[in-house]
Chains A and B, each alone.
Chain A
Amino acid sequence: MSQKVLLTSKEINIILHRLACQLLENHLDFSNTALIGIQPRGVYLAERLTKILREDYKVKNIELGFLDITFYRDDFGRGDKTLKANTTKIDFLVEDKNVVFIDDVLYTGRSIRAALTAIQSFGRPSDIELLTLIDRRFSRHLPIQPNYRGRQVDAINEEKVKVMWKENDGEDVVYLVNK
């Protein structure tokens, strides 16, 4: 197994600020916007972006929620492992809101497909956008594309993109791992 660094901590920081600015450009004061981190790994990115928007760009009242998609996946009983659920925490209605899904890696698109179904349990959003830190193009199974992307990566199926966060893994870094 070999791994190479795709993004360093410094690069991640620059990208996060750019993504925050792009969100700002489209959502201005976030008064009708809800940021939804996709469990489990999208939550760190969503929290980080929210922090930057609050502290560096003085946006008040950002609605942030976490969505677990375990019960909405399309591979139940097809994998070899039981899928363990994570907490869903959405304390607001998404009815008529502009929802932004936030996930660390966009790969086949199936998680986002599940998230699109899952979010319907919380109302009918006015629109839904997608933000991902890493976009693995050429590996999509479904017609799903991000509206905001950190870095586009060409990786083959045998490779894995690993996103590490300081708060959970000790450092901010993105690896390309060759299995």
Chain B
Amino acid sequence: MGELSVDHLLGIKYLNKKDIELIFETADHFKEVINRSIRKVPTLRDITIANIFFENSTRTKLSFELAEKRLSADVVNFSASQSSVKKGETLIDTVNNILSMKVDMVVMRHPNPGAGIFLSKHVDASIINAGDGAHEHPTQALLDSYSIREKLGDVGGKNVVIVGDILHSRVALSNIFALKLQGANVKVCGPKTLIPKHIEALGVQVETNLRRALEWCDVANMLRVQNERMDISYFPSTREYTQQFGVNKALLNSLDKQIVIMHPGPINRGVEITSDVADSNQSIILEQVENGVAIRMAVIYLLAAKK
């Protein structure tokens, strides 16, 4: 019988390899469930989950909500833009008010790194971090690894390059933790200004030449340039960024192997990835989205079982 070693999913950093394997095995079963003609199981019918989003999101929020509904949980949604947060309420007060309405689990996205960790110490509910600033986005990393495992059979021993805005990306950090935990080799690639100093300490290598990175890798995870988090200019122009770090079909065709292309979305078509690559059979972008629901069902199920 398997059980997660944690009571909250705050980041991949707090998981061990066994946790990831358990989440993947459970997700396999849920993937079968969501491909049935009746895609719903009654497992969590007496569990209530609050989705609290202090930052915009479309696919993560949708994916969590679908996962919760496929498990028959009751769902309440809350977004900061239409709430008393604007009137000056603190995070703990907001969440405690929601918990007073008998909520068992909180899925939270917040612009501040560590918001989930802070909350988990002050409230009595399971917390799932759906992205905290530029810190972690654990379910995204889990679904990315799960998609690699599905496509290539295993994550261990594979060469994975994460390309783009590493500095502002929670997806990058969670992915690095998850991939290293499973024994993959990881490189990061992007303009020097968008690669954090000392990132080698996490066991990854830095590569500033995209072609060399692609020649080395089995999988390339293309990240979006997060303009909304940039307070200064990190590169001269979008056009120059695309020329140096954008993936296009001609570049992929010139490699002597076929690599797997991933993207956590939302895609800036024509910037980090061209349309013909995003829509090609090398890309598993839509599989990632499908797997996202199965992974989130698995995480919610396993955390709810610990209550």
Contact = CB atoms under 8 A, between A and B. Distances in A.
Chains A and B are bound partners: yes
Interface footprint category on B: 20 to 34
B307 interface: yes
A122 B41 CA distance: 12
Contacts of A93: 37
Interface residues of A, number: 22
Contact of B32 (A83, A84, A88, A120): A88
B1 A82 contact: yes
Given A82-B305, A88-B32, A71 B42 contact: yes
A121 B1 contact: no
A72 interface: yes
A85 B1 CA distance: 9
A88 B46 CA distance: 24
Interface hub of A70, A73, A121, A123 (most chain B Cβ within 10 A): A121
A77 B42 CA distance: 13
Interface in B187-245: none
A88 B302 CA distance: 19
Interface in B288-307: 301-302, 304-307
Interface in A57-108: 68, 70-73, 76-77, 81-88, 93
Contacts of A88: 29, 32-33
Given A82-B302, A85-B29, A71 B41 contact: yes
Nearest to B104: A77
A6 to B, nearest CB: 26
Contacts of A118: 41
Nearest to B33: A71
A83 B37 CA distance: 24
Contacts of B301: 71
B36 A83 contact: no
A152 interface: no
A118 B43 CA distance: 11
B38 interface: yes
Contacts of B42: 71-72, 117
Contact of A82 (B3, B41, B47): B3
Given A71-B33, A71-B41, A83 B307 contact: no
Interface string A105-127: 00000000000011011110000
Interface string B21-55: 00001100100110011101111101100000000
Given A85-B26, A85-B29, A77 B304 contact: yes
A72 B47 CA distance: 14
Nearest to A69: B41
A86 B2 CA distance: 12
Interface of B: 1-4, 25-26, 29, 32-33, 36-38, 40-44, 46-47, 71, 301-302, 304-307
Interface of A: 68, 70-73, 76-77, 81-88, 93, 117-118, 120-123
10 contacts: A70-B29, A71-B42, A71-B43, A71-B71, A71-B301, A73-B43, A77-B47, A83-B305, A84-B1, A84-B25
Given A70-B29, A82-B1, 5 more contacts: A71-B29, A76-B43, A82-B2, A121-B36, A123-B37
